[in-house]
Structure 1
């Protein structure tokens, strides 16, 4: 058996992590220290771990998060009105398996975006596809996509995400294009996937912000009624604190 040929074949089959570990064991003369079954399991585990880590890194990069937010770094200070047990249940992603939504509201700077993105990051670690988007910028992009004919393609991309994070929801008034785009997004995702919304605007005002009563009713019925709600309190965390909006 020619070990160099074996390593080259492994690399050509895109089993680089397995090839690297095999080469390391050859150089260190460790091939006799384990049984064939143990060695095969060792090489397989190395390749599996490498691919899983690569997948996670790719999912995080594709999510396009604004911040490096993690569940481990959440601030549960008493003034925030954030129940740790409740949030950790959300972090288990049970809401995702049940195709439920999460709505995080509160004043500017209290950490809404961070919470939303920490849940998104947790989903990436567990192998789910996440898309983070500033709501106003997303609607602008979708409006332009109608001009160049890629609107349906953009909607399909959004519908395939296991979690869609709509950040800064409702900061700009909804025009007809934004209303129709939101209706299309929510309708495609309803009972299929989960959406996380962060907003400075109280949910009670969303009906008026969206406008067009029939469309607003349809959107809120699909988005709000099947949601977990977090209403953050306290002062802005932007002034000298770890977690920012």
Structure 2
């Protein structure tokens, strides 16, 4: 048996996890310690794990998160209006399986984006497709897509995403083009997938921010009624970090 050729063939077939483990087996003489069935099972398990991890890394990269997050860095406190029990229920991702939304509101710097990205990262690790996007960037993508004739492709991309995270909602102005496009996106995703919306504005001000009563009613009906809400309080975490 030519071990080198076998490993090269595995690599050419993109069986990278299997190739690495087979090399370990040969180098450590594990053939003597395990049965053929056990070795075959371990080879398949290693390849399965390698493919899963590769897909997870791809999903994390394509999600376009703006920062690395860690659940250990979450600050739970009554002053922030954030309890461990409440947020850990969200971290179970049950909202995602139920096609429910999350609304995170609070003043600038209180950690809205961070908490949203934690949930997005957990979703990627469970092999869900996630898009994290600033609302202003989304509006610009809509404008460009309509000019270039790729608007339907943009809608399909948004529709196929398991979790859409929209940050800084309400800061950027809604015009007629953006309003109808935003409704298209929300309508296509309604009851089919989940969204997280982060905003400095309380939900009570969203209606006036969107403008055009009929469209505003339709958008809010599809986002708000099926949502979990986190209304964060307290001082800016960035200010606290600077002082420390």
SS in 1 for 2:239: coil
Map 1:186-201 to 2 at 5 A.
Answer: 186-201=186-201
Q: Give yes or no for contact 2:77–2:83 (8 Å, CA) kept in 1.
A: no
Q: What do you get for the CA RMSD once the two structures are aligned? A: 1.3
SS of the equivalent of 1:48 reads: helix
Q: Aligned partners of 2:73, 2:59: CA distance in 1, in Å? A: 20
Deviations 1:138-183, CA, capped at 9 Å, x for gaps = 1111111100101110111011110000000000221111111110
Pairs within 5 Å for 1:1-245: 1-241=1-241
Q: Select between 229-238 and 8-17 the one with higher mean Cα deviation.
A: 8-17
Matched residue SS, 2:21 = helix
Deviations 1:88-113 (A, max 9, x none): 11111101111000000000110000
- What's the CA shift string for 1:177-225, capped at 9, x where partnerless? 1111110110010010000000000100100000000000000000100
Distance, in Å, in 1 between the alignment partners of 2:179 and 2:25 is 60
Q: Which moved more, 1:98-107 or 1:81-90?
A: 81-90
> What is the CA–CA distance in structure 1 between the aligned matches of 2:223 and 2:28, rounded to whole Å?
58
Deviation string for 1:30-51 (max 9, x for gaps)? 2211111111111111111111
Post-superposition offset of 1:240: 4.4
Could you tell me which runs of 5 or more consecutive residues in structure 1 were left unpaired when the two chains were aligned: none
Q: In 1, are the aligned partners of 2:103 and 2:230 still within 8 Å (CA)?
A: yes
Whole-angstrom distance in 1 between the partners of 2:14 and 2:69: 32
Counting matched residue pairs gives 242
Q: Is the 8 A contact 2:159 2:188 kept in 1?
A: yes
